[in-house]
Amino acid sequence: MSQPRPVALVTGGAKRVGRAIAMALAGAKYDVVITYNESSDAAGKVVELVRAGGGEGLAIRADLTEASSIDEIGRQVRETFGGLTVLVNNASIYEPGGMRDASLPRARRMWAVHVEAPLLLCRSFEPELRAARGSVVNMLDLLAEKPMPSHAVYCASKAALWNLTLSLARELGPDVTVNGIAPGVVEWPADYPLSEREKYLRRVPLGRPGTPEDVARAVLFLCSPGGYVTGQVLRLDGGRSLT
């Protein structure tokens, strides 16, 4: 009998970086579950592509600001696949908000998505991840170390997830590896001025922006079976953090 395929869950996996991660995992012979909030058409396309490649795919609509969504994700993953090997906490809200203009509802939404949801998903899937000797990868941001005042709330919530990554690595060892990826620019905002892009790249030793596929390859490395890396944060920035 053939061995069952490993199963990966990627939150926010319908578009951009999350989509690239989901497709890379599918290419590595994982069955893939993604969550999405509003991008139902994009989520359906990811599932189609996973299935076209010979795997099983599942898209779950989930508002990660609601604790009930965590229970629903757990229920659907267990009913469909029975277990989980890899958890990628990728879902994110990138919005401005400094000290003077940050609203409490916006701050709480970012905290819920960037800190509470990863924590609760790890707790929910702890038995399955331990049984599979699996991996958790948390998507962070270089701005957690070098915050922008205009995005103080976002940066602070990502810094909290950075610290949570270290705690979870200790708590889930020796069975589960837990690591983070802190990208620099891996996909320019559509309205980002060309002059600002050039200014940024002048401070990147590798001289180019990253890509979602760069992130996806790093996820595959950190999820390698039998890996000896845990409690680490990979600065995926082309060297930008050095300058």
The model's pLDDT over 229-241, given as tens digits with 9 standing for 90+, comes to 999 999 999 999 9
Mean pLDDT of 125-142: 98
Q: Give the Cα separation of 183 and 5 in Å (integer).
A: 29
Catalytic residue among 154, 192, 200, 228: 154
The class (CATH top level) of 7-242 is alpha beta
Q: Give the Cα separation of 9 and 25 in Å (integer).
A: 10
Per-residue pLDDT of 159-217, as tens digits, reads 999 999 999 999 999 999 999 999 999 988 888 899 999 999 999 999 999 999 999 99
* Active-site annotation holds for 154: yes
Phi (first) and psi of residue 224, to 5 degrees: -60, 130
In the chain, the amino acid numbered 125 is: F
pLDDT band at 43 (very low <50, low <70, confident <90, very high): very high
- By the 8 A CB rule, do 179 and 169 touch? yes
pTM over cut 0.85: yes
Return the bridge partners of 88, or none.
10, 137
Q: Give the Cα separation of 135 and 222 in Å (integer).
A: 8
Distances (CA, A) of 54 to 3, 49, 65, 161: 15, 9, 33, 34
